[in-house]
Amino acid sequence: MRPTLVFDYDGAIHNTMRIYEPAFRETYAWLVENRYCEEQPISSEQIAGWLGLNSKEMWNSFLPQLPQEVKDEASHRVGSSMVEQIKTHKAVWYSGAKEVLNELYEAGYQMLILSNCKISYRKSHWKEFAMKKWFSAFYDCESYDFAPKTEIIHNVQNQFPGPYIVIGDRYSDLECARACDSLFVGCKYGFGKENELEEADYLIDAIQQLPEIIDLTR
């Protein structure tokens, strides 16, 4: 029986920094201008480190002292900016991603997305990239009250019986794989730090290597 492939999205398929960094910097300028925080230099590497966290985790990590209503507004601004960029075709997938998905789909694999994203983000990407061509479902964390992937995966199991292979770039994806007793393929080209993927069953440097790894698991 072929396993169902459960993909993370940002950092595994979508090169998120293209739209996340400008959205974040625009929102951060608004926070500074309105004196919600003191301005400080923020590197692209620091911004990339937040990818893979849900929006609540990100703002609690970056500016925990902000009032909740300000965190909510900042989160809304980032999300709205990213959706607008998706609609104007600024979002990009990693080179080779569509070809790999075509190959896996034609080989008969069922594929899903499980992402720490919001509903509007999910819907915008689903439409922009015509994702129903490859994926049977796209799970976002907002629909589950921003629960961790280790919990959401049990909803996946109810709808799509295993076995599974989980593919992602962050430790949260590894935890998700372990929560459903699955193999994990770590994407070194994504946004996680190298030590996050130390316990991965397999590692890939580019998405083009994924079909060969999937074949090895059979």
| Residues 167, 144 contacting (CB under 8 angstroms) | no
DSSP state of 75: H
Q: What is the mean pLDDT of the chain?
A: 96
Q: In what order do the strands lie in the sheet with 4-7?
A: 135-140, 111-115, 4-7, 164-168, 183-187, 202-204
158-203 pLDDT tens trace = 999 889 999 999 999 999 999 999 999 999 999 998 799 999 999 9
**1 pLDDT exceeds 90?**
no
109-141 pLDDT tens trace = 999 999 999 999 999 999 999 999 999 999 999
